[in-house]
Amino acid sequence: MDRAGADATSWVPDGIDLERPSAARLYDYLLGGAHNFAHDRELAERFIKAQPNGREIARHNRSFLRRSVLMLVELGVRQFLDLGSGIPTVGNVHEIAQTADPTSRVVYVDYEEVAYAHSMMMLADNPLATIVQADLTRPQDILDAPQTRELLDFDQPIGLLMAGVFHFVAPEKDPARLVAQYRDAIAPGSYLAFSQFTRDLMPTEMDRIVEVMKSSRDPMYPRSHAEITALFAGFDLVEPGIVPTALWRPDLGFDDGGDPNRAGIYAGVGRKR
Amino acid sequence: MPDPAQDLDGDHAGLIGAWMRVVAATAYVPRSSTEVRTLLTALLGRLTDALAGSDPDTSVGPRVGELMVEGALTGESTLEGSLGVLADGLTDAGHGARPVARLLASVSAGYAAALRKRTLAQQENMKLALLTAKQRAERDRRATESRFREVFDAAAVGIAITELDGTFLETNPALATILGRPTEDLRQRTLVEFIADDDEPPLVVGEADRRRVIRPGGDTAWVYLTTSMLRDDNGVARYRVTMVQDLSEIQLLGNQLSHQSLHDALTGLPNRMHFESRLEAMHAQTPPERLLTLLCLDLDAFALVNTTYGHSTGDRVLRTVANRLTAAVSAKKALVARIGGDEFAVLIAHESPPPPVSTLVSALEVELSEPDYDGGGVGLAVSATTGAVRCTKAEMSATEMFRAADAALRYARSLGKHQWAEFDAHADRAARKLGTLATGLPAAWENGELSIAYQPVVRLADLTPVRVRALAHLPTDRDAAELAELTGLSVPLGPWLLTRSAEHLDRWLARFEPVVDEDEAVHRVLLSPTQSADADLSATVNAVLGATCAAPGSLEIGLDTAAVLGCRGDAQDNLRTLSDIGVITAVHGFTAVHGFTGGPREVAMVERFGVRTVILSDPFEGWRPDWLPREAVPVRATVELIAALRSAGASVGVLGVRDHAEATWWAEQGVRTAEGPAFGRPGGVDDIAPARG
**CB B133 to CB A116 under 8 A?**
yes
Q: What is the mean pLDDT of chain B?
A: 82
B407 and B485 within one domain:
no
- CA B179 to chain CA centroid, Å, is 37
d(CA A150, CA A141): 14
φ, ψ for residue B359, nearest 5 deg: -65, -45
Amino acid, res. B356: P
Residue A158 belongs to a domain: yes
| Alpha-carbon distances of B114 from A56, B69, B71, B111, rounded to whole Å | 24, 6, 11, 5
> What is the model's pLDDT at position B379?
59
Task: Report whether pLDDT(B16) > 50.
Answer: yes
Under a CB-based contact definition with an 8 Å cutoff, are residues B685 and B469 in contact? no
Beta-bridge mates of residue B298: B343, B385
**CB A113 to CB B133 under 8 A?**
yes
| Alpha-carbon distances of B441 from A73, A234, B428, B454, B497, rounded to whole Å | 93, 77, 20, 19, 15
φ, ψ for residue B213, nearest 5 deg: -105, 150
Amino acid, res. B372: D
**CB B122 to CB A34 under 8 A?**
yes
B557 and B490 within one domain:
yes
SS3 B181: coil
Give the CATH number, domain containing residue B8.
Answer: 1.10.490
**CB B137 to CB A95 under 8 A?**
no
Contact residues on chain A for B76, CB-CB shorter than 8 A:
32, 55
Domain that holds residue B116: 4-124
End-of-domain residue from the set B423, B455, B477 = B423
Nearest-by-Cβ selection for A1 from B34, B125, B163: B163
Model confidence pLDDT, tens digit, residues B554-568 = 899 998 888 888 777
**CB B167 to CB A4 under 8 A?**
yes
Residue B553 belongs to a domain: yes
End-of-domain residue from the set B204, B228, B252 = B252
Please count the residues of chain B. Answer: 693
Residue A147 belongs to a domain: yes
Sign of CA dihedral B309, B315, B316, B318: positive
Place B479 in a pLDDT band, splitting at 50, 70 and 90.
low
B473 and B365 within one domain:
no
Residue B47 belongs to a domain: yes
End-of-domain residue from the set B103, B124, B145 = B124
Residue B463 belongs to a domain: yes
Residue A222 belongs to a domain: yes
Task: Report whether pLDDT(B482) > 70.
Answer: no
Q: Does A103 touch chain B (CB under 8 A)?
A: no
Nearest-by-Cβ selection for B123 from A4, A12, A34: A34
Nearest-by-Cβ selection for B24 from A34, A62, A254: A254
What ipTM describes this predicted complex? 0.87
Model confidence pLDDT, tens digit, residues B412-462 = 777 666 778 888 766 666 665 555 555 556 556 666 667 788 889 999 988
* Closest residue by Cα to residue A115 from A141, A82, A143: A82
pLDDT per residue rounded down to tens, chain A (273 residues): 333 333 333 333 344 466 678 888 899 999 888 888 888 899 999 999 999 999 999 999 999 999 999 999 999 999 999 999 988 677 899 999 999 999 999 999 998 888 999 999 999 999 999 999 999 999 999 999 999 999 999 999 999 999 999 999 999 999 999 999 999 999 999 999 999 999 999 999 999 999 988 877 789 999 999 999 999 999 999 999 999 999 999 998 888 778 888 889 999 999 999
Beta-bridge mates of residue B221: B213
Sign of CA dihedral A82, A87, A88, A91: negative
Q: Does A26 touch chain B (CB under 8 A)?
A: no
Amino acid, res. B448: G
d(CA B153, CA B157): 10
- SS3 breakdown of chain B: % helix, strand, coil, rounded to 5? 50, 20, 30
d(CA B371, CA B550): 57
Mutate to test the interface with B, among A69, A113, A133 (most CBs of B within 10 A): A113
Mutate to test the interface with B, among A3, A57, A62, A118 (most CBs of B within 10 A): A118
Nearest-by-Cβ selection for B21 from A8, A59, A255: A255
Residue B433 belongs to a domain: no
Model confidence pLDDT, tens digit, residues B487-522 = 555 667 778 888 888 888 888 888 888 888 877 888
End-to-end CA distance of chain A: give it in Å, rounded.
58
Mutate to test the interface with B, among A7, A120, A256 (most CBs of B within 10 A): A256
A 191-250 near B (Cβ less than 8 A): none
Give the CATH number, domain containing residue A248.
Answer: 3.40.50.150
Domain that holds residue A236: 23-272
Residue B388 belongs to a domain: yes
Look at the pTM and tell me if it is higher than 0.90: no
B646 and B539 within one domain:
yes
B243 and B159 within one domain:
yes
| Alpha-carbon distances of A87 from A15, A102, A168, rounded to whole Å | 22, 22, 16
Number of domains in chain B: 4
SS (H, E, C) chain A: CCCCCCCCCCCCCCCCCCCCCCHHHHHHHHCCCCCCCHHHHHHHHHHHHHCCCHHHHHHHHHHHHHHHHHHHHHCCCCEEEEECCCCCCCCCHHHHHHHHCCCCEEEEEECCHHHHHHHHHHCCCCCCEEEEECCCCCHHHHHCCHHHHHHCCCCCCCEEEEECCHHHCCHHHCHHHHHHHHHHHCCCCCEEEEEEECCCCCHHHHHHHHHHHCCCCCCCCCCCHHHHHHHCCCEEECCCCCEEHHHCCCCCCCCCCCCHHHHCEEEEEEEEC
Residue A17 belongs to a domain: no
Between B306 and B89, name the one with better pLDDT: B89
**CB B163 to CB A35 under 8 A?**
no
B597 and B460 within one domain:
yes
B384 and B286 within one domain:
yes
B526 and B674 within one domain:
yes
Q: Which of B16-20, B211-215, B392-396 has the highest mean pLDDT?
A: B16-20
Place B55 in a pLDDT band, splitting at 50, 70 and 90.
low
Q: Which residue on chain B is closest to A95 by alpha carbon?
A: B30
Residue B113 belongs to a domain: yes
Give the relative orientation of helices A38-50 and A203-213 as an angle to the nearest 10 degrees.
160
Residue A43 belongs to a domain: yes
Mutate to test the interface with A, among B3, B21, B23, B28 (most CBs of A within 10 A): B28
Amino acid, res. B537: L
Q: Which residue on chain B is closest to A256 by alpha carbon?
A: B25
Nearest-by-Cβ selection for B34 from A1, A37, A253: A253
| Spatial CB neighbours of B248, under 8 Å, sequence gap ≥ 6 | B221, B222
B589 and B539 within one domain:
yes
Q: How far is A222 from chain B (nearest CA, A)?
A: 23
B414 and B392 within one domain:
yes
| CA diameter of chain A | 66
B543 and B412 within one domain:
no
Task: Report whether pLDDT(B248) > 90.
Answer: no
Under a CB-based contact definition with an 8 Å cutoff, are residues B675 and B463 in contact? no
Q: How far is B132 from chain A (nearest CA, A)?
A: 6
Q: Does A39 touch chain B (CB under 8 A)?
A: no
Sheet architecture: strand order including B158-162: B168-171, B158-162, B237-246, B220-231, B208-214
**CB B122 to CB A33 under 8 A?**
yes
Under a CB-based contact definition with an 8 Å cutoff, are residues A40 and A22 in contact? yes
Segment among A138-147, B47-56, B392-401 with least mean pLDDT: B47-56
Number of domains in chain A: 1
Under a CB-based contact definition with an 8 Å cutoff, are residues A231 and A177 in contact? no
Residue A1 belongs to a domain: no
Give the CATH number, domain containing residue B293.
Answer: 3.30.70.270
B592 and B477 within one domain:
yes
Residue A111 belongs to a domain: yes
Residue B646 belongs to a domain: yes
A 104-133 near B (Cβ less than 8 A): 113-118, 120-122
Residue A265 belongs to a domain: yes
> What is the model's pLDDT at position B238?
86
| Mean pLDDT, range B328-342, rounded to an integer | 89
Q: Does A6 touch chain B (CB under 8 A)?
A: no
> What is the model's pLDDT at position B400?
86
Contact residues on chain A for B32, CB-CB shorter than 8 A:
251, 253
Task: Report whether pLDDT(B321) > 70.
Answer: yes
Place B68 in a pLDDT band, splitting at 50, 70 and 90.
very high
d(CA B497, CA B540): 11
Task: Report whether pLDDT(B593) > 80.
Answer: no
Place B255 in a pLDDT band, splitting at 50, 70 and 90.
low
Residue B347 belongs to a domain: no
